């Protein structure tokens, strides 16, 4: 697969799985009925932040996407910590897309001079994501009990995860 910077032209391929993931209510705190234009604004970030897509080598299908940014205000004293969010098309899960996107984000953060990456809200029932992040060196530094209302599991914890670079 190829990971490259996303363009506006990629949004029609990202939107269907973005909408599906958000509407499931299982992993993102976004409004379940988030509209397409608002979703585009939240996901396709302008520079110096970055949004990328993972594209299948055969056929060019968009398999997933990641957005990466400064965790706090770019002008403040926490601008040395990065953050990121990931979405893998559920029809392409289990193919290493999430791992490739996360490895890309780690390399981007290092190259951009960040000292760490912090994920602010990893839902504890998103076990695959937690295991992936831990396998790449992230650790859970805190959990907000009952910080997320999961549609099937009720109130569940939300992890903050950290990776020193």
Q: How many domains are contained in the chain?
A: 1
Mean pLDDT of 138-165: 98
135, part of any domain: no
137, part of any domain: no
Instruction: Tell me the pLDDT band of 73, cut-offs 50, 70 and 90.
Output: low
- Cα–Cα distance list, 19 to 23, 24, 36, 115 (Å): 6, 8, 8, 32
pLDDT tens, 120-133? 999 999 999 999 99
59, part of any domain: yes
- pLDDT (0 to 100) of residue 43: 97
- Cα–Cα distance list, 24 to 32, 33, 62, 152 (Å): 7, 10, 20, 10
Output the CA angle 103-133-17, nearest 5 degrees. 75
Q: What CATH number does the domain containing 80 carry?
A: 3.40.630.30
Does the pLDDT of residue 72 top 90, yes or no? no
Mean pLDDT of 77-95: 93
Mean pLDDT of 4-13: 97
Q: Is the Cα torsion angle 29, 61, 37, 47 positive or negative in sign?
A: positive
Contact 112, 135 (CB under 8 A): no
């Amino acid at each position: 697969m190829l990971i490259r910077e996303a363009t506006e032209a990629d949004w029609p391929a990202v939107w269907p799985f973005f909408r599906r993931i958000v509407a499931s209510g299982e992993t993102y705190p976004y409004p379940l009925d988030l509209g397409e234009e608002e979703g585009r604004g939240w996901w396709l970030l302008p520079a110096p932040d970055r949004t990328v897509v993972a594209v299948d080598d055969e056929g060019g299908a968009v398999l997933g996407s990641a957005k990466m940014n400064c965790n706090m205000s770019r002008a403040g004293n926490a601008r040395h910590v990065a953050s990121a969010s990931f979405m893998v098309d559920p029809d392409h899960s289990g193919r290493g897309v999430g791992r490739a996107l996360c490895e890309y984000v780690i390399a981007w953060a290092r190259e951009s001079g960040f000292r760490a990456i912090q994920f602010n809200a990893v839902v504890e029932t998103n076990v695959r994501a937690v295991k992936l992040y831990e396998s790449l060196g992230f650790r859970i530094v805190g959990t907000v009990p009952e910080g997320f209302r999961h549609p099937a599991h009720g109130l569940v914890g939300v992890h903050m995860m950290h990776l020193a670079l």
